[in-house]
Structure 1
């Protein structure tokens, strides 16, 4: 049985919105995107909210919409896509064992981008209300990557990114962020203790493949804060196996 006409038309409208948003590097508001695509404003709002929720678009502070981390990851291609395919089973295992959403980020073209999320009904993902490209300083996944960069690369990254105050716990100065990266008690694991979103904590560790750098991690409710050591002890060997597998097969 084929897809219904209603579903097909919804997909087509979503693609039109993505195409329109891609033409505005600095973002465009919903009304403008609705006008450019010829969609009723209500329909455009509904589809835009869905695309933001799924990570294909990102909503800026001024209300404009730009392409999101998940869509940009589709362009990584080559080694990046191969890496994702080989990491996904490990992410699924982490999700099932720890009852936590599991994530992969890759450091590409000087940006930290979410490349894969494995979640489920018992392991919901964190609401990506701010794109990871603008929140590396506030996420365990981002900090796990930043800790691995050399001084020059890290300074370059920090010079291009504002350390936005996302919650009352977010570190917003480069000096303090670097200090915490270098003195992390769970290193090489990094944590996000409600720095990206209130009520959520995360643990992440780096993964490597040649010149490719990324991180894997999990998110969970704050109520599981006492399990950080246990989760680190699960993530570190998983990252080691991923790194060895990629090094042997690429």
Structure 2
């Protein structure tokens, strides 16, 4: 049985097909999967057939393949475990009160993963979306999470991932980032000032004491989330973070 660096090759390929279906909005034709993966059509057909048999993919009358109902239970269970269900209520209040998109993210391996989000009523779409994995050095939630680690743990993580520049404002020096993380620990909040996406500012706070390393944030255009608004936003975020952390602790104890 052929293996890859991450495990069994056929499993990696099957999971990649599920990711492609999700990225495409839920359904694709076999030919589209072939073009997207570069795999031979018989290989894709064999993998899809197995996924259909197990309920993770279904075939529509149009002959397109779509995500299957068995994924619903997995998704709901994962959402509960990651705090997404508990988080949405608090994020909705944040998005309504501050008027910008509210996010929740957790540290998974060496990446930060967005596990819940409530968008603002404004039409501007940003890079964040549920399920997206990003490197922590250039996002507000990432810095808020890294600030909960020791400096040696942060340096080890950065050595594994590197610090690629997403914009001209991205930190690329680990020691400069460590200095900023010390400020985050002292002041209790983190800032992404156009470091992940030009024109976007994000203010984040850690979920200190939560069962997993996590943070919440609000993000929006720099013209709306001005530096002058940070003193208004941070206390609201911190209050929401405290309530959410209490909820997550309660869920874990049940």
**TM-score > 0.5, shorter chain as reference:** yes
Corresponding residue for 1:42?
A: none
| Cα distance in structure 2, aligned partners of 1:133 and 1:91 | 19
Corresponding residue for 2:81?
A: 80
Contact 1:125–1:219 at 8 Å: present in 2 too? no
Following superposition, the deviation at residue 14 of structure 1 comes to: 7.3
Q: Which aligned pairs between 1:1-250 and structure 2 lie closer than 5 A?
A: 11-13=26-28, 30=36, 32=38, 74=75, 77=78, 80-81=81-82, 83-122=83-122, 124-128=124-128, 133-184=133-184, 187-208=187-208, 210-223=210-223, 224-225=225-226, 226-250=228-252
Cα deviation, 1:220-241, whole Å, max 9, x if unaligned, reads 1111312111111110111011
Contact 1:164–1:172 at 8 Å: present in 2 too? yes
**What is the TM-score of this pair, normalised by structure 1?**
0.67
**What is the TM-score of this pair, normalised by structure 2?**
0.66
Aligned residues between the structures: 197
Contact 2:141–2:216 at 8 Å: present in 1 too? yes
Gaps of 5+ in 2: 1-24, 46-73
Q: 1:16 to 1:238 in 2, by over 3 A?
A: farther
Higher gyration radius (CA): 2
Contact 1:106–1:212 at 8 Å: present in 2 too? yes
Q: 1:228 to 1:78 in 2, by over 3 A?
A: closer
Cα deviation, 1:79-122, whole Å, max 9, x if unaligned, reads 534x1101100001111111101111011234311111211432
Q: 1:199 to 1:134 in 2, by over 3 A?
A: same
